Amino acid sequence: MKKLLLVVLIVAGVGAAVWEKPQESAPVVANVQKPEVGFMAPSFTLTGLDNQTYKVEGKRSKPVVLNFWASWCGPCRMEAPDLQKMYEKYGGQIDMYGVNVTSNDSPEAAQAFVQSYKLTFPIPMDVSGSVSNRYLVQAFPTTYLIDTEGIVRKKIIGMIDAGTLELELRQLLNGKK
156 vs 6: which has the higher pLDDT: 156
pLDDT of 176? 66
CATH number of 23-173, picked from 3.40.605.10, 3.40.30.10, 3.30.930.10, 1.10.1200.10 = 3.40.30.10
Which pLDDT band, with edges at 50, 70 and 90, does 175 fall under? confident
pLDDT of 154? 96
State how far the Cα of 145 lies from the Cα of 54, in Å rounded to an integer. Answer: 16
Strand partners, 151: 40
Maximum alpha-carbon separation in the chain: 59
pLDDT of 13? 44
Q: Are strands 53-56 and 44-47 parallel, antiparallel or unpaired?
A: antiparallel
Res 56 pLDDT > 60: yes
Provide the residue type at 164 as one letter.
T
Res 141 pLDDT > 50: yes
Which pLDDT band, with edges at 50, 70 and 90, does 70 fall under? very high
* Percent of the chain topping pLDDT 90: 80
Give the pTM.
Answer: 0.83
Over residues 71-89, mean pLDDT: 97
- For 10, list phi and psi in degrees, rounded to 5: -65, -45
